[in-house]
Amino acid sequence: MQLTAQEIDIGSRSPTVLLNTADAAELGVHQLDRVQIEHDGRISIGIVEFTDELVDPGTLAVTRRLGHLSGPVEVIPAPQPRAVHYIKKKLDDIELDKPELHRIVLDIKEDRLSDVELGAYVAATYTNGLSLEETMHLAECMAEVGDAIEWEDTAVVADKHSIGGVAGNRVTPIIVPIVAAAGVKIPKTSSRAVTSPAGTADTMEVLCDVEFSLAEIKEIVTETNGCLVWGGSVNLSPVDDKIIRAETPLSIDPPGQIIASVLSKKKSAGSNHIVVDVPYGEGAKVESLAQARELAEDFKRVGDHLGMAIECTITRGSQPIGRGIGPVLEARDVLETLAGGGPEELRLKSVRLADILLGSCGCAEDATEILDSGRAMAAFRDILAAQGGDSDVTVDDLVPGRHELPVAADREGIVTHVDNRLVSDVARRAGAPKDKGAGMVLHCRVGDKIGVGDSLFTVHAESKEKLADAERLVERSETIRVRSRDEALVELV
Amino acid sequence: MQLTAQEIDIGSRSPTVLLNTADAAELGVHQLDRVQIEHDGRISIGIVEFTDELVDPGTLAVTRRLGHLSGPVEVIPAPQPRAVHYIKKKLDDIELDKPELHRIVLDIKEDRLSDVELGAYVAATYTNGLSLEETMHLAECMAEVGDAIEWEDTAVVADKHSIGGVAGNRVTPIIVPIVAAAGVKIPKTSSRAVTSPAGTADTMEVLCDVEFSLAEIKEIVTETNGCLVWGGSVNLSPVDDKIIRAETPLSIDPPGQIIASVLSKKKSAGSNHIVVDVPYGEGAKVESLAQARELAEDFKRVGDHLGMAIECTITRGSQPIGRGIGPVLEARDVLETLAGGGPEELRLKSVRLADILLGSCGCAEDATEILDSGRAMAAFRDILAAQGGDSDVTVDDLVPGRHELPVAADREGIVTHVDNRLVSDVARRAGAPKDKGAGMVLHCRVGDKIGVGDSLFTVHAESKEKLADAERLVERSETIRVRSRDEALVELV
């Protein structure tokens, strides 16, 4: 069928073809079917949407993703991408083999699937699960379609990942310099916050640049043994973001997909010795110890298949780890810890994870010794310099938001709960992560004995308005719960 | 967060909000999250998509579905629609109750779900199935959100549905006038073809108008006892089309969803005595007798719950029923059959289904008698007149496409197979359903003895080009398979 094409910009990543309903009927295509468009001997495939208003009969509108198409084109129905058949197969609970998973990964990468098909894919992997074999193949396929770093003459490359959901869990900027100082390469990429008050990348951005190309990352790590950069500026596992986009609105996160997602990135980064931290508990991503153990076992098995040595740590994730929440406040914790002080739990967890990672890498050095001797701080400053930061930075250079709200206990008792979710929400209301100095500092931990008027936490903001905004949330919720020792009830509902 | 809104037309039914990635990060929303937009005291909820190009930081673009929004607006994150939680529940294989299904149906009707969520919904109902209870509730909820016809002072209202997939199965325009002539009301709505060469609505359109409002339909049926109209112009089950849009690309069609979809429309049409034809066999929608039986049983059970008497006929669907394929050619079959002639199988099947329907309605009349006496033809002509057609139409007025391709057997033997799919494809290539006279006429059926040179079928087209197009498909495929009686092989692969 001959039609006249025009380009339309609708902010869609998919190769969408808007057809007038009358033309679609003549072509015999349904909505979301594919059509093949031939233009000047060049062929592209698009996903059909109907419209009666946007395009007239005889014309069609295509999104940019289809290339620059205008003028007369020849349009015929085209088959669905092969991935759709394999998604259907997975919905039928039939295990997929590697070529089939490869096809799905490739079609997702090239944006060949409609959102309906993508929704069905994440639904199928969630409801029917991914077998260990499928998870292994998926991790490989997801790595294969991404860019990769090759480490010539380096047998051992370390890495670290945390499953997340815990506030103030900023162990990464402490572990990386410890490992680097021990002479082991650790090319660490991290995320930015979306719904949390700070990702590792946001915290590091207080101190240095975090956006680098793969070539630059390789240079930085070759020079300093480590890096602390934003993963979003490189293309290690391009399919991962697209899958997460579809999982997030459904709040589904199948274990197999988590494992494939994490390990595909590590594989592309050339890492082969990895510590994966699985915090569990109320408010964390993994809520029970049993789930944490299962996920850890699967991580190890899949890693084994991919030629990676994986150590999994199961840690308590029911309350924040550090004192500071928010980019600047967490960066202060990091600097203080590297200087030998810092919050006790942050120091302990970092050292423990670093020791396990070093052990796995066959390195006999002791993390505590590296930290206490100042070698970790020196390595950190090297990394800062390599990433364009001020290597002489001190805690005093990192200024918390100047508008403060101190919050004190209005009863005496024991701290029974620090709510990860509320801590995040209050810090975000205060302006984190965009306002780098915004967030909060916790003055107590679960188990601490508290008297009336004792300080529980302080909110910091860079503007009065945002502090007031945070204050409203603080007033109508209970971020830190103080109960007397003999109080049996958690809540009366 | 204060932003400036502008309207954008992207042919999307969803209430989409395009946010600049930087603003989205500050708001703390993911792609496909919801935001609440307040403008002049009016509140709307939109689905977030990110863009770096289409809108600048500080502004956002909204689709028309959100109403006319421009100028300063206040934007805050909003929760997902409740339907999403219930979809998640269904993915966890937990049975949904009526209020939950109602919420899903309502949110689909109002286009509140993203395509990812819709894909997950159809995936969940397919992979985890719909229980009988769920199917009942779904049918009720789908009917409740649609428009409805009330038949005052009429206890019995008949209807008819076929599961489809069989070419030339044009029994409806014969059954409806038989039932109407017997004095039973039958407000029949039908579909147009999408991938087939003709739907009942396409065939009827050769003879009269098919697009009417519910009020007009009620008037036509009150006057003539029957109608043969296009279901797409009324709003009996508005959610159905939206669900089918998501099912089609995945080629999934869960039995529960089929039943809910069919019966919701019948319920809205006020019908309470229904014959559902389930053709089965190679190439039909239902491929095995066991599947057909199960579907039929479920139809009856759900109908029972909805207060509908359902009779299910299981018929052979492995070859076309009538001789003509395509709107005009099928209309000729219909007129000939109503005149007492016509293809034997078409007559037999129509009479049998009509008898069963009349019996179910408590009507003692005999379908053969109604047909042979000419009363069915008279009722048909009344319906044509009421629907603005020529009530004196004869077969000779219906002219097949004048470009013809007769196809003859090149071997002798028995007809062992007439391929529904290929029959459809050839007829469509020839121009059906858009070119009303295009299609094909079959000259033989499975079991017929054929000699070399005997006529198998004739393709009709309204243009030489389309005839040539159909001829190319005929030449490289085997629409009608002729084999000698002693040939054991179907194919050698």
| Domain map (residue ranges) of chain B | 2-78, 82-129, 158-235+260-386, 403-483
Beta strand A439-442 with A455-461: parallel, antiparallel or unpaired?
Answer: antiparallel
Which CATH entry fits the domain spanning A158-237+251-386: 3.10.310.10, 2.170.190.11, 3.40.1030.10, 3.40.50.10480? Answer: 3.40.1030.10
**What is the least distance, in Å, from the CA of A85 to any CA of chain B?**
8
Cα A21–Cα A23–Cα A27 angle in degrees, nearest 5: 115
Nearest to B127 among A127, A250, A428 (CB): A127
Fold classified for B403-483: Aldehyde Oxidoreductase; domain 3 (3.90.1170)
Nearest Cα to A312, choosing from A286, A337, A331?
Answer: A286
* Burial of residue A100 (number of CB atoms within 10 Å: 0-12, 13-18, 19+): buried
| Percent of chain B topping pLDDT 70 | 97
Which contiguous run of DSSP H or E holds residue B158? strand B158-162
Residues 232-261 of A with CB under 8 A from B: 245-246, 248-252
Residues of chain A with C-beta less than 8 angstroms from the C-beta of B91: 123, 126-127, 250, 252
Residues 83-142 of A with CB under 8 A from B: 84, 87-88, 91-93, 114-120, 122-124, 126-128
CB contact under 8 A, B128 and A126: no
| Number of CB pairs, chain A paired with chain B, less than 8 A apart | 163
Beta strand B186-190 with B226-230: parallel, antiparallel or unpaired?
Answer: parallel
Whether a cis peptide bond, with omega within 30° of 0, leads into A433 is yes
Catalytic residue among A147, A253, A366, A448: A253
Q: Walk along chain A (493 residues) and give the pLDDT tens digit of each residue.
A: 888 888 776 666 678 888 888 888 888 888 889 999 998 888 889 998 888 777 889 988 888 777 778 889 999 989 889 999 999 999 999 999 999 999 999 999 988 999 999 999 999 999 999 999 999 999 999 999 999 999 988 899 999 999 977 888 899 999 999 999 999 999 999 988 878 899 999 999 999 999 999 999 999 999 999 999 999 889 898 899 899 889 988 888 889 999 999 999 999 999 999 999 999 987 788 888 999 999 999 999 999 999 999 999 999 888 899 999 999 999 999 999 999 999 999 999 999 999 999 999 999 999 999 999 999 999 999 999 999 999 999 999 999 999 999 999 999 999 989 998 899 999 999 999 999 999 999 999 998 999 999 999 999 999 999 999 999 999 999 999 998 876 666 666 7
Backbone angles phi, psi at B473, to 5 degrees: -70, -40
**What is the least distance, in Å, from the CA of A19 to any CA of chain B?**
10
Q: Residue B139 in contact with residue B260, Cβ under 8 Å?
A: yes
Nearest Cα to B5, choosing from B88, B92, B104, B74?
Answer: B74
Nearest Cα to B50, choosing from A248, A279, A401?
Answer: A248
Give percent helix, percent strand, percent coil of chain A, each to the nearest 5: 40, 20, 40
* B151, B180, B355 from B363: Cα distances, Å: 18, 11, 9
Q: ipTM, 2 decimals?
A: 0.86
Which contiguous run of DSSP H or E holds residue A455? strand A455-461
Dihedral angle sign, alpha carbons of residues A136, A137, A140, A145? negative
Please report, for chain B, how many H helices and E strands are present, in that order. 17, 18
Axis crossing angle, helix B289-305 with helix B132-144, rounded to the nearest 10: 60
Amino acid identity of A430? A
Whether A25 contacts chain B with CB within 8 A: yes
Q: Quote the CA–CA distance of A185 and A357 in Å, as a whole number.
A: 12
Q: Residue B73 in contact with residue B37, Cβ under 8 Å?
A: yes
Whether B70 contacts chain A with CB within 8 A: no
How many other CB atoms are found less than 10 A from the CB of residue B247?
25
Whether A33 contacts chain B with CB within 8 A: yes
User: Looking at the DSSP assignment, which residues form a beta bridge with residue A78?
Assistant: A34
Annotated catalytic, A202?
Answer: no
Fold classified for B158-235+260-386: Pyrimidine Nucleoside Phosphorylase; Chain A, domain 2 (3.40.1030)
Nearest Cα to A363, choosing from A178, A169, A214, A219?
Answer: A178
Q: What is the CATH number of domain A2-78?
A: 2.40.40.20
Nearest to A49 among B11, B88, B120 (CB): B11
Backbone angles phi, psi at B120, to 5 degrees: -70, -35
Residues whose CB is less than 8 angstroms from the CB of residue B423 and which lie 6 or more positions away in sequence, other chains included = B167, B168, B197, B320, B325, B440, B442, B479
Whether a cis peptide bond, with omega within 30° of 0, leads into B433 is yes
